[in-house]
Each structure stands twice: as structure tokens, then as C-alpha cells.
């Protein structure tokens, strides 16, 4: 099961940001358990599908939180290798460079190192996830009208962390024997965003070949 993979105590996991917990006993917690159970079956295409009778917003919310936690863990394992010196810009290979802006605190995109960019990005995501008006955790509180567009922006940005890890830090990932982990997590992420059409193809370009390789076996 995928969650035990991510919580194996055999390695020092420095979580980069605090884990976002879904309250136990809540409907969202049940949905998360459902997601983990279907993931255990190994069929990722099936695992990402909206369960019968469930609300799409809620399903996207639960999975977005889960991906945030996974990426947090994965990036946490390689923070020693991602430094101001090694990664003075936030890139995904030579053709793709990202500049940070969140539209509120930083309106004009700034060029910054990868660790700084990822810190901004993960802090920004955490703030969205903690905002009860955007990600309501209480039963019966409706999702806002703009929920999907917010979720799409979060997922688009989380993708960039995967892209950076794959392009710039794949060697340490292999040394740490995290490769299977990273691939499973990323594949799950890609199947999910493909299922609900959540990230524009242009945004996925830095990892296009990998995406084709990982998803072609499961057509």
C-alpha cells in the first residue's frame, strides 16, 4: 500500500513542510482511505476515477492534499542536494525555467533559486489547503465556485517540483533508492490530472517523454 511506502521509518525522512492532515472520521478521510485501498490494487487508472456518487470537488480536494504530502516527502529526501549553489535558478532541464509569483504578495514574477522557489511554492500551497473557504473540511460546507481553478493552479505548480526533481536531482534519487517511489507517485499524479483534465499539456512538456513512457504500459 502506497501510504506505508511513504512512511517507512527505515530512512530519515525530513519532511520539508508540515504534513497536512485530513481529519479522521470525516468523509474526506473515508475518501482518502478509499483512494489508498484502490491504489493498493496496483491499477492506477482505476484508482483515480471518481468513486460512484461522490462529489468531484471533494475528490479533487482530497487527492490534492495527498499529492502535496507526497511531494513534500519526496522533496524532503533530496533537500541536501538542492541548494542555492547547485540550483541558482528553478529549472526543469535547460529549456524550462520558472519564475515565482503568487499574484498577492509577489505580483511580478521573480527569478530565484530552486530551493527558494520550492519554499515559496509549498508555503503558498499550504496556505491554500489551510483556507477553510477554499478547502472546507467541515461536512456540508460547500466548495467555492472557483475551487477547480484554484486546484488546477496548485496541481500545475506541484508538477514543477516533480519536474525539477527528475531533471536536476535524479542521481541522488537513485542513490537513495527512492526511484520506484518517485515514479509511482508521479504516475499516480499524471493519471489523476489526465482523468480530470487538470493541467494543460503545454505545462507538462518538461516531462513529456517520461509521461509517455510511464503511461504507455497502461493504455
Specify burial of residue 79 (Cβ count, 10 A radius: 0-12, 13-18, 19+). Answer: middle
- List CB contacts of 196: < 8 A, sequence separation 6 or more: 50, 56, 60
Residue 164 annotated as binding site = yes
CA neighbor of 183 nearest in space, from 38, 15, 70, 69: 70
Residue 82 annotated as binding site = yes
Residue 112 annotated as binding site = no
Cα separation, 194 vs 120, in Å, equals 26
- Whether residue 90 contacts residue 118, with contact meaning beta carbons closer than 8 Å, is answered with yes
- List CB contacts of 169: < 8 A, sequence separation 6 or more: 78, 81, 82
Cα separation, 88 vs 162, in Å, equals 17
List residues forming the annotated binding site.
Answer: 82, 87, 164, 169
List residues forming the annotated binding site for Zn(2+).
Answer: 82, 87, 164, 169
Amino acid at each position: 500500500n502506497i501510504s506505508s511506502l511513504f512512511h517507512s521509518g527505515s530512512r530519515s525522512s525530513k519532511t520539508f513542510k508540515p504534513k497536512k492532515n485530513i481529519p479522521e472520521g470525516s468523509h474526506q478521510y473515508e475518501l482518502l482511505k478509499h483512494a489508498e485501498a484502490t491504489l493498493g490494487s496496483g491499477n492506477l487508472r482505476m484508482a483515480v476515477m471518481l468513486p460512484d456518487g461522490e462529489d468531484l470537488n471533494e475528490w479533487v480536494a482530497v487527492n490534492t492534499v495527498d499529492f502535496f504530502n507526497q511531494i513534500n516527502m519526496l522533496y524532503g529526501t533530496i533537500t541536501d542536494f538542492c541548494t542555492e549553489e547547485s540550483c541558482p535558478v528553478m529549472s526543469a532541464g535547460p529549456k524550462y525555467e520558472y519564475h515565482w509569483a503568487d499574484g498577492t504578495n509577489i505580483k511580478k514574477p521573480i527569478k530565484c533559486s530552486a530551493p527558494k522557489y520550492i519554499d515559496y511554492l509549498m508555503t503558498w500551497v499550504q496556505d491554500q489547503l489551510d483556507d477553510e473557504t477554499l478547502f472546507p473540511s467541515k461536512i456540508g460546507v460547500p466548495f467555492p465556485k472557483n475551487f477547480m481553478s484554484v486546484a488546477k493552479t496548485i496541481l500545475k505548480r506541484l508538477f514543477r517540483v516533480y519536474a525539477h526533481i527528475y531533471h536536476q536531482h535524479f542521481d541522488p534519487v537513485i542513490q537513495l533508492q527512492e526511484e520506484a517511489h518517485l515514479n509511482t507517485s508521479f504516475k499516480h499524479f499524471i493519471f489523476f490530472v489526465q482523468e480530470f483534465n487538470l493541467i494543460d499539456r503545454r505545462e507538462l512538456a518538461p516531462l513529456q517523454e517520461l509521461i509517455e513512457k510511464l503511461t504507455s504500459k497502461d493504455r
